[in-house]
Structure 1
């Protein structure tokens, strides 16, 4: 069963129970993840009652960045990518941050995990530079999606159709695919994940 820790006192605060019984996995490296792209979806999902597990490459803290430059908050992971499985989870989230995403796309365990969610027909969500992992996992082909604008050629070369929208939800493939462009889109991104998990 997925495990979860209480981070920053957010786990039990303002729970509305909408996502009680739902489990979400977040994939990250230990350095360079965009702070808000990690923390905001986690906080939103927990406020709705979901159990969120953060899987990092190593057991140590995730050292986030703000705008790829300034140090952000340290976030403790719950498990590692190597130990994590898709079993028991209802969705997976891939945050951005250029350094994080560039390393995550080459991580065999990260590719294994997003592929497992896709094969099982469960939602895959990625924001900003996070869709690089979709390219390297073969999950962009034939899908409509968005990303940080500089990734557009990569996603189109991988067979995807790129859209300049705050959130793109593609339900035409084997699994729901939710993508957004940047931290400014986090409200729409987080809301789309909640809707995918509630079926609304």
Structure 2
């Protein structure tokens, strides 16, 4: 995708452990490569432990800042990587919930992959939306009154004034990253 996102600011939020490595690093690298300024924020700041296949510890990635004190007004889009531990920890964090809700309320792009939609559920923003996710999250999304769940590499839903982008697994990252870039370009 030939995209210039100069001037666009993207926030990627994670916990400090259990983040699926490629679901953090591939969007971060792709969006920076498109010209966006990307900030990685964690709950506690400092290092974030990535994993492979959800259990095997991989590399540590130093975050840029903590979630506390950040505002949706500072960014154009929000990205939520998966990893079951990451998503389960983020969904319980009040700052993560506050940020997701603020991005949605402001009509900005929110993108979540794999188990990342769990965070959307706890922020209360999935009702009436059509999403995809890792298959085991499907029932949770439907119970949270999402309009529908689809098995697709990427699903973009523009209902209620904001853009929601979801994907299933690391295999879907090229389509996920392209959809985020396109949404930012059109914003």
Could you state the TM-score of these two structures normalised by the residue count of structure 2?
A: 0.96
Residue pairs, 1:53-64, within 5 angstroms = 53-64=39-50
Match of 2:105 in 1: 119
The 1-side partners of 2:34 and 2:122 are apart by: 32
The Cα shift of 1:163 comes to 0.4
Alignment-derived partner of residue 23 in structure 1: 9
| Deviation at residue 83 of structure 1 after TM alignment | 2.5
Aligned residue for 1:5? none
Q: Is residue 167 from structure 1 mapped to residue 154 from structure 2 by the alignment? A: yes
Tell me the equivalent position of 2:126: 140
2:54 corresponds to 1:74:
no
Residue 88 (structure 1) shift: 2.1
Match of 2:21 among 10, 21, 35: 35
After superposing the two structures, state which structure 1 stretch, 90-99 or 168-177, moved more: 168-177
SS state at 2:183 partner: helix
Query: CA offsets, 1:136-155, max 9 Å, x none?
Result: 11111000001000010000
Residue of 92, 113, 122 corresponding to 1:106: 92
2:155–2:165 CA contact under 8 A, matched in 1:
yes
Q: CA deviation at 1:94?
A: 0.4
2:162 is aligned with 1:178? no
Shift of 1:159: 0.8
Q: Identify the residue that residue 188 of structure 1 maps to in structure 2.
A: 175
Q: Which runs of 5+ in 1 are unaligned?
A: 1-15
- Give the C-alpha shift of residue 174 in structure 1: 2.4
Gaps of 5+ in 2: none
Task: Return the offset for 1:130.
Answer: 0.3
Distance 1:23 1:33 in 2: 21
Is the contact between residue 3 and residue 181 of structure 2 (CA under 8 Å) also seen in structure 1? Answer: no
SS in 2 for 1:84: coil
Residue number in structure 2 paired with 1:10: none
Which residue of the partner structure matches residue 69 of structure 2?
Answer: 83
1:17 Cα deviation (Å)? 6.8
User: 1:23 Cα shift?
Assistant: 0.2
Deviations 1:3-40 (A, max 9, x none): xxxxxxxxxxxxx7700000000110000000000000
